[in-house]
Amino acid sequence: MSNPVWGGTFLEGRVREDTEDSGIAQQLVAARRAARALPQYPGALPASLDAAYACQARAIALWPAAIAGWKVGKIGAVWVERVGEERLVGPIFADTLQQAGAQPARFAVIPGGFAAVEAEFVFVLGADAPAGKLDWSAGEAAALVAELRVGVELAGSALPDINRLGPAVVVSDYGNNAGLVLGPRIEDWQRHGDDALRCETFVAGESVGTGRASSIEGGTLAALAFALARCARLGRPLRAGQLVSTGAATGIHDIVAGQDARVVFTGGSLAAPVEIHVHAVPALAVDAA
């Protein structure tokens, strides 16, 4: 008598699902590399966050750079009950990481796709997370931190409606991440606390959002604790030197090619305002860059 778990119907269904997920991942990655917008999702929408992370894993394997860190995003209240989690993670690849400097960071946006800037507070880990640890408190997460920095997430996708399609779609496409601009460190960040760290985002010269590190639900360490737990469950425990971008402190602000963005950080140990400038340009296909 055959084992029903390994019977033909189960395996055939799993093979079909794996094949479809691989095809979706290939199309999502190909669209990014070709700088080509996708008018619709290239297949059936992921049925769950687990399915979405499986697709994300296949897409990660297709990207030619190492993971420098992870972005954390808040899942909207309307979706939380449906998907069972309040946050999501997506990879930040080393070749999309930029250091803030005197010149604006370059944000290559896919024409017809989605692009936005987000003010972020970014942890740098000082130690490896234990591979088998799947639950983290904020205090336990804090013990792994080497630095807290300011930054700007470059959120981007070939899918113009990625956020409207829901968190599972966001997860499947690298968490809607297209890069990170990393700014200076904040000294004595634990002593000052999240509420002391303020930021304001400008797009095309207009203020589009203000916030604090405490605007991130539960605070920055709650976001880090989630990333530690989620990445461990994905079989990718966080490592020393990796970055965790904790969430959009002023909101998600659309940007198009030709526009400039500026994020101003104040408070805490920052003796003077820190400004990070971003200039959006049309993305080019990788072979044409």
Strand partners for 281:
108
Query: By the 8 A CB rule, do 129 and 237 touch?
Result: yes
Contacts of 257 (CB under 8 A, 6+ apart): 109, 111, 280, 281, 282
Query: pLDDT 10s per residue in the chain (289 long)?
Result: 333 333 334 334 444 456 567 899 999 999 999 999 999 999 999 999 999 999 999 999 999 999 999 999 999 999 999 999 999 999 999 999 999 999 999 999 999 999 999 999 999 999 999 989 999 999 999 999 999 999 999 999 999 999 999 999 999 999 999 999 999 999 999 999 999 999 999 999 999 999 999 999 999 999 999 999 999 999 999 999 999 999 999 999 999 999 999 999 999 999 899 999 999 999 999 864 4
What is each CA distance from 1 to 4, 5, 11, in whole angstroms? Answer: 9, 12, 17
Structure tokens at 242: 């990796």
Nearest in space to 148 (alpha carbons), one of 117, 126, 115: 126
Q: Encode 262-288: b = buried (16+ Cβ within 10 Å), e = exposed.
A: bbbbbbbebeeebebbbebeebeeeee
pLDDT at 286: 86
pLDDT at 18: 63
For 233-279, what is the HEC assignment?
A: HCCCCCCCCCEEECCCCCCCEECCCCCEEEEEEEECCCCCCEEEEEE
pLDDT at 19: 56
Tell me whether residue 62 is exposed, middle or buried, using C-beta atoms within 10 angstroms of its C-beta: 0 to 12, 13 to 18, 19 or more.
middle
Query: By the 8 A CB rule, do 46 and 79 touch?
Result: no
Structural domains of the chain, count? 1
Chain centroid to CA 220: how far? 14
Nearest in space to 112 (alpha carbons), one of 35, 25, 27: 35
User: Domain of 159?
Assistant: 4-288
Q: Identify residue 140 by its one-letter amino acid code.
A: E
Structure tokens at 196: 């002391």
At residue 283's C-alpha, the angle toward residues 61 and 151, to 5°, is: 75
Chain centroid to CA 269: how far? 26
Query: By the 8 A CB rule, do 251 and 118 touch?
Result: yes
The CATH number linked to 194 is 3.90.850.10
pTM of the entire predicted model = 0.92
Structure tokens at 152: 């700007």
Query: By the 8 A CB rule, do 116 and 255 touch?
Result: yes
What is the length of the chain?
Answer: 289
